[in-house]
Amino acid sequence: MYRIVSAEEALKVVKSNDRVYIQAAAAAPQVLVKALSARHEELRNVEVCQLHTEGVAPYANPELKDSFHVNSFFLEKM
């Protein structure tokens, strides 16, 4: 059985030192991105993995560097 929860409640599963993947391009879930970033004071060293994303990315702001580490994937054609 599924139940609907708020973004804030859904993001409670993320803990310090976890790795989180943000879906690419326009599919980046802005409500979840904002809810995750809002938890910056209680989170440390969360790795945020992403391709190209569109929209806001407050987790990438320099002042949140202790909370989030951004790992962007880029492929280069050789």
Using CA atoms, how far residue 35 sits from 9, 11, 12, 40, 74, in Å, is 9, 7, 10, 9, 26
Cα separation, 55 vs 75, whole angstroms: 21
Q: What is the pLDDT of residue 37?
A: 97
Per-residue pLDDT of the chain (78 residues; tens, 9 = 90+): 899 999 999 999 999 999 999 998 888 899 999 999 999 999 999 999 998 888 899 999 999 999 999 999 876 677
Query: E strands within 1-78?
Result: 19-22, 46-50, 68-72
- 7 exposed, middle or buried (CB, 10 Å; 0-12, 13-18, 19+)? middle
